[in-house]
Amino acid sequence: MNTQPTLPKDGQETGTTGPSQSSDGLKAGLKNRHLSMIAIGGVIGAGLFVGSGSGIAAAGPAILLSYALVGAMVVFVMRMLGEMAAARPSSGSFSAYADRALGRWAGFTIGWLYWFFWVVVLAVEATAGAKILEGWIPAVPQWGWALIVMVVLTATNLGSVASYGEFEFWFAGIKVVAISAFVVIGLLAVFGVLPGSDNPGAGFAHLTDAGGFFPMGAGAVLTGVLMVVFSFMGSEIVTLAAGESEDPQRAVTKATNSVIWRIGVFYLGSIFVVLTLLPWNDKSIVDKGSYVAALDSIGIPHAGQIMNVIVLTAVLSCLNSGLYTASRMAFSLGQRGDAPKAFAKTNARGVPTAAILSSVVFGFVAVFFNYKWPDTVFAFLLNSSGAVALFVWLVICVTQLRMRGIILRESPEKLVVRMWLFPYLTWATIAMIVAVLGYMVYDGGSNREQVVLSLLVAALVMAIAVVRQRLGRNTGAEELERV
């Protein structure tokens, strides 16, 4: 049976009982500057730095359209999520909204899938960071570095939410400064006005001088979409973090309104610079990485080591945020009775210790699988979580269709962020996401495997949710009203 409780009355959406303590036990320890940088840095993942070269090789200059299409999709999804989060900030974000709008099964399913996605990401990023650190200090084995990185960031998250926010503020700050400097320096070189540049400044010629703008055909744009879509995952983290901020509504509104320029500058801007500095088929783009190749082309010394530092920062940022995100989703699931009750308990510092440690334990196990059985067990974990990002975005869209009416009926004054052209643009976004999933199946290979395995895991989790509900293991309306 699906319970439909009413939204809390004014002043209750964050459970505020004081300037720093929430009634759900979490503390509002994130400052506005933390939220601002989390929002900006959330769209700059390690995938942008290390994965863009493959996308350029697959689609040529047309990869810009791939980034633009996925970027538009993310902007629309974030607008929808922002509409709901500004009206009802929650540590469970879209999982809590799906719970409210679609039913307990939906919140349970997407919440656990999202948790699963991030704990697998912990293993991927810990291994990636360990490889870089081992290259600098080979005396410490790769597994040792992975352990050190995980332990340090676990301690940070266990300290307080302010510790997470401060670490992420600096991690994100380095990424933002680095990518902004790359775009500015690159554009100066493109137009031939960078002093001492080794690149003669080809201007826009490289966009068409090696087989045209669509050297691999127009269909390669869709192939590019599949290669870049997952590098955008993480932009939604700010809506989870907003529940522990000083002014959740303001933070969400600001993050939602700024997502367009963030994607435009950091993704489209930086890839445009790479494509105008070098021919798209230059082998160094794949061999060295797109950003290192671009920096080398204009004579920036030690470009490889500079980029390694930036990539390591992006990896640590992703690890830090991944652990925070997984633990807060586990916390929210615990609050709603969809996870062990211990997950919903916080210590004196307002930190959900059990939720953090459970996420870390699974992360450590996944790291072990990555070293012990990388091509079997860990490959299964990776592929079975591969399409979860798209499932999350799809659920956000469907949830927003229902939540708009609920908010208008119960608290219309809280609808301070509105999705554009509702409901038409929401339905168009749903169609875009379904089309991407469909093309992944059509494309075959690892893409098809990711969709199929992710669907199987989603079906299993959904079956558990339905069985739980039929067995009466619901906490009822009183629990939903708390989150």
Name beta bridge partners: 22.
16
Structure tokens at 106: 């939906």
Structure tokens at 77: 């999804």
Tell me the CA end-to-end span of the chain in Å, nearest whole number.
19
Q: pLDDT tens for the chain, 483 residues: list them.
A: 343 333 433 333 333 333 444 545 677 778 878 887 887 776 677 777 777 888 899 899 999 999 999 999 999 999 999 999 988 888 788 999 999 999 999 999 999 999 999 999 888 888 888 988 998 999 999 889 999 999 998 998 898 888 888 888 898 889 889 999 999 998 888 888 887 776 665 668 889 888 899 999 988 998 888 888 878 887 888 888 877 877 888 888 887 888 888 888 888 999 999 999 999 999 999 888 888 898 888 888 888 888 889 889 988 888 888 899 999 999 999 999 999 999 999 888 889 999 999 999 988 898 888 888 888 888 888 888 888 989 999 999 999 999 999 999 998 999 998 999 999 999 999 999 999 999 999 987 888 999 999 999 999 999 999 998 888 754 443 444 444
- Mapped onto helix, strand or coil, the DSSP state of residue 27 is strand
Dihedral sign for Cα atoms in the order 403, 418, 230, 435: positive
CA distance 355 to 365: 16
CA distance 204 to 44: 25
- The answer for residues whose C-beta is within 8 angstroms of residue 386's C-beta and 6 or more apart is 230, 449, 450, 451, 453, 454
**In residues, how long is the chain?**
483
Q: Report the predicted TM-score, pTM, of the whole model to 2 decimal places.
A: 0.87
Q: Residue 432 burial by CB count (10 A; 0-12/13-18/19+): exposed, middle or buried?
A: buried
Residue burial 50-88, b: 16+ Cβ < 10 Å; e: rest: bbbbbbbbbbbbbbbbbbbbbbebbbbbbbbbbbbbbbb
Q: Which of 140, 138, 154, 114 is nearest to 364 (CA)?
A: 154
Amino acid letter, 390? L
CA distance 389 to 394: 9
Q: Cα dist. 154→133, 269, 292, 327, 451 in Å?
A: 18, 34, 31, 11, 31
Q: Residue 422 burial by CB count (10 A; 0-12/13-18/19+): exposed, middle or buried?
A: middle
Q: Which of 326, 325, 377, 363 is nearest to 147 (CA)?
A: 363
